[in-house]
Amino acid sequence: MRVLGIDPGLTRCGMGVVDGSIGRPLSLVDVGVLRTTSSLPVWERLVTIEKGVDAWLDEHQPDAVAIERIFARSDVSTIMGTAQAAGIAMVCAARRGVPVALHTPSEVKAAVSGNGRADKAQVGLMVTRLLRLDAMPKPADAADALALAITHIWRGGAQNRLEAAVAAQALKVGAHK
């Protein structure tokens, strides 16, 4: 399975592609950060992010896209930009029919480090180990994007099977009425 992980942000949007499956070694395909400058209007920055996400989707042809689920923090201006970038990423994937999954920060931290309260350094270190990299991906947005992709490979497949089983059961029950 190939997953594009996206750590959304208006200034820095982390992008990471990982190949792998449960019980098999993971491998890094690509990692980077889409950047926009705060001197541009928000709508132009969002177009830059859209073009960047589209380019990553075209180049890497992922089986799924994993995006960090946005939680309200104290700074509303920061969360608005993050949510807007996440929405752009979702639209880009949906336009191509690529499944999208949202993972919470604590879910990602727990998946890669075993600790849902791990700090950015711990997550970066575990991503480096899991992907057998020579150095930790920088900036943290890049490492976080890879952590999202890893989380989806390890947890997303099971979640998708559960959802499919529930949907199949609902169809079965509906057919018997």
Binding region for Mg(2+): 7, 68, 141
Annotated catalytic residue, options 68, 119, 134, 163: 68
Q: What single letter denotes the amino acid at residue 6?
A: I
For the question of residue 107 being annotated catalytic, the response is no
Give yes or no: 119 in active site. Answer: no
Write down the catalytic residue from 59, 141, 144, 163.
141
Query: Rounded distance, CA 165 to CA 177, Å?
Result: 19
The yes-or-no answer on residue 134 being catalytic is no
List, as residue ranges, the binding site.
7, 68, 141
Active-site residue set: 7, 68, 141
